[in-house]
Amino acid sequence: MMDRRSLLAAMGASALMPAQAKQTGASDSVNGWQNWSKSLPPQKAQILVPDDAAALATIIRQTDGGVRPVGSGHSWTGLVPCDGAIVKLDKFNAVGEIDPATQTAWLGAGARLKDLSPQLAEQGLAFRNLGDIDVQSLAGATSTATHGTGRALPCLAAEIRGLRMITGAGEPMEISARENAELLPAAQVALGALGILTEIQMQLIDRHKLHRRVWFTPYEKLQADAQQLFADNRNFEFFYLPFSGQAMCIAHNITEAEDTPRTHDESDDAVMQLKALRDWLGWFPYLRKKLLAAAIAAAPEEDVIGESWQLLSSARNVHFNEMEFHLPVHEGLDALEEVRAHIEKNRAGVFFPFECRMVAPDTAWLSPFNDGPRMSIAVHTHAPDEYEFLFTEIEPIFRRRGGRPHWGKLNRFDAKDMRAVYPQFEAFAKLRATLDPAGRLLNPYLRDLFGAA
């Protein structure tokens, strides 16, 4: 979330920073599959890796107890856990047919975004936008409406032009301009509930470079300037550093200038330095704020040019738990301020920065952005730390202000809540029942959402 070790060097906090082991995805331990942050208990379901679509269809037809797909496990909701089989799509990872005229490509649903980007660059193509993590599978990211930031840039699922999948009935199905075109808005964000994806046709754009700038600014000033910064930059986001009064701003804009050297990404180190400061001065918020302000004042700005996919995403190896809600634009900054005030009054243990992004609208039935642009606010806690307060203290703030939860991140929205915020939710539920009449792709979480037997 930050990428300069000098952030806290002024106070020598790096000496307190524990070493971190690199981890980029979920784990398959002897106790069973677990998600990345280990917020979900180990699963006893068998883990299967089908070779092709025919093998996947057989798994769906013959497995009792539910079949659920999994990507890299960067989710916190109960989309994966089941009693039957957890299917990894690692062998569905190829770059298939590319149409240069339309700049579309059929891509393996199990391919990781970080692997697809350099392959597409070789063909002169790129994703229009990416999130700040790129270890997810393409299917996992699109099925949960994962997004980057940019007032005119939609979530990744909005770029889907076609899908190939095995339905819950174990049958192959294509949804594209050629077949079942009317179902595309339902299938773009589908939680793996209509079928297990094998290939996705994505809309791409020309390979391009970005000019990245990172700078710090007082939080109060940013509250006044944020809307203009979102308007003036192709990609803009900011992180508020709890108990600091300061925010880190990140802007990306397309450029044709020459590449510049990029320093090593030390964002994990910086986060752990914030933890060290929390541990050291957690109960002295005034002193904590003074020391953070001094360190931030000495931190240099970042100014670099490079490939879009290399700059938009970065490593996230310090484990955290996350709640993210997507709010009407006019509510976003006020919601962030309410969250900030509450945490700084009541939760001295929080040190992970809060993230604020903007996402353009789309038309997918279950997309959080299908009713207009939304401002996304994410609150994180260090994975070993208690996070129940996110549900009891922070989620109510987002609910009051019309927020919709990220499909893959912590929330307690039930079927009634989802129906209240998604006008097409019931239509999606009926389509799901048609494509999966026996409920083979359901697990306890999805069964509760869709009211299926």
Burial of 345 (0-12, 13-18, 19+ CB in 10 A): exposed
Q: Is residue 436 part of a domain?
A: no
Smallest CA-to-CA distance from 207 within 310, 101, 308 is with 308
Summarised one tens digit per residue, pLDDT across range 107-137 is 999 999 999 999 999 999 999 999 998 999 9
Q: Do 55 and 149 lie in a common domain?
A: no
What pLDDT is recorded for position 105? 98
Summarised one tens digit per residue, pLDDT across range 425-436 is 999 999 999 999
Mean pLDDT, the chain, whole residue set: 89
Name the pairing type of β-strands 235-241 and 172-175. unpaired
82: pLDDT strictly greater than 90: yes
Is the Cβ–Cβ distance between 67 and 60 less than 8 Å? yes
Q: Say how far apart CA 426 and CA 162 lie, in whole Å.
A: 23
The residues with which 170 forms a beta bridge, in sequence order, are: none
CATH of the domain at 344: 3.40.462.10
Q: Is residue 4 part of a domain?
A: no
Q: Do 347 and 250 lie in a common domain?
A: yes
Q: Do 199 and 213 lie in a common domain?
A: no
Smallest CA-to-CA distance from 71 within 166, 151, 136 is with 136
Cα Rg of the chain (Å, integer): 22
The one-letter code for the residue type at 180 is N
Which of 206, 230, 256 delimits the end of a domain? 206
Q: Is residue 424 part of a domain?
A: no
Q: Say how far apart CA 453 and CA 448 lie, in whole Å.
A: 9
Least confident of 22-31, 159-168, 268-277, 352-361: 22-31
What pLDDT is recorded for position 314? 80
pLDDT band at 5 (very low <50, low <70, confident <90, very high): very low
Q: Say how far apart CA 94 and CA 283 lie, in whole Å.
A: 52
pLDDT band at 74 (very low <50, low <70, confident <90, very high): confident
Q: Is residue 17 part of a domain?
A: no
292: pLDDT strictly greater than 50: yes
CA atoms within 13 A on the CB side of 349: 9
What pLDDT is recorded for position 78? 94
Q: Do 136 and 162 lie in a common domain?
A: yes
Q: Do 107 and 72 lie in a common domain?
A: no
Q: Is residue 435 part of a domain?
A: no
What pLDDT is recorded for position 284? 64
- The H-or-E segment that residue 453 falls in is none
Confidence (pTM): 0.90
- 3-class DSSP assignment, residue 345: helix
Q: Do 235 and 328 lie in a common domain?
A: yes
- 3-class DSSP assignment, residue 44: coil
What pLDDT is recorded for position 351? 86
pLDDT band at 318 (very low <50, low <70, confident <90, very high): confident
Least confident of 34-43, 64-73, 259-268, 358-367: 259-268
- Give the angle 302-149-243 at the CA atoms, nearest 5°: 60
What pLDDT is recorded for position 293? 75
Q: Do 126 and 143 lie in a common domain?
A: yes
Q: Say how far apart CA 279 and CA 47 lie, in whole Å.
A: 39
Per cent of the chain over pLDDT 70 is 87
What pLDDT is recorded for position 265? 60
Q: Do 228 and 140 lie in a common domain?
A: no
Residue 47 lies in domain: 27-88
Q: Do 342 and 225 lie in a common domain?
A: yes
Which of 206, 229, 253 delimits the end of a domain? 206
CATH of the domain at 198: 3.30.465.10
Summarised one tens digit per residue, pLDDT across range 372-410 is 999 999 999 988 899 999 999 999 999 999 999 999 999
Q: How many domains does the chain have?
A: 3
Q: Is residue 444 part of a domain?
A: no
Q: Say how far apart CA 441 and CA 451 lie, in whole Å.
A: 13
Q: Say how far apart CA 191 and CA 115 lie, in whole Å.
A: 22
Summarised one tens digit per residue, pLDDT across range 196-252 is 999 999 999 999 999 999 999 999 999 999 999 999 999 999 999 999 999 999 999
What pLDDT is recorded for position 26? 61
More confident residue, 271 or 10: 271
Summarised one tens digit per residue, pLDDT across range 13-70 is 333 333 333 444 565 655 689 988 999 999 999 999 999 999 999 999 999 889 999 9
Which of 190, 206, 222 delimits the end of a domain? 206
Summarised one tens digit per residue, pLDDT across range 307-317 is 999 999 987 77
Q: Say how far apart CA 357 and CA 303 lie, in whole Å.
A: 20
Q: Do 365 and 225 lie in a common domain?
A: yes
Q: Say how far apart CA 57 and CA 73 lie, in whole Å.
A: 22
Is the Cβ–Cβ distance between 106 and 200 less than 8 Å? yes
Q: Is residue 307 part of a domain?
A: yes
| Residue 45 per-residue DSSP state | S
Smallest CA-to-CA distance from 146 within 395, 400, 418, 368 is with 368
What pLDDT is recorded for position 16? 31
CA atoms within 13 A on the CB side of 9: 10
More confident residue, 175 or 270: 175
Q: Do 134 and 249 lie in a common domain?
A: no
pLDDT band at 281 (very low <50, low <70, confident <90, very high): low
* 287 alpha carbon, distance to own chain's centre: 34
Q: Is residue 422 part of a domain?
A: no
Q: Do 84 and 37 lie in a common domain?
A: yes
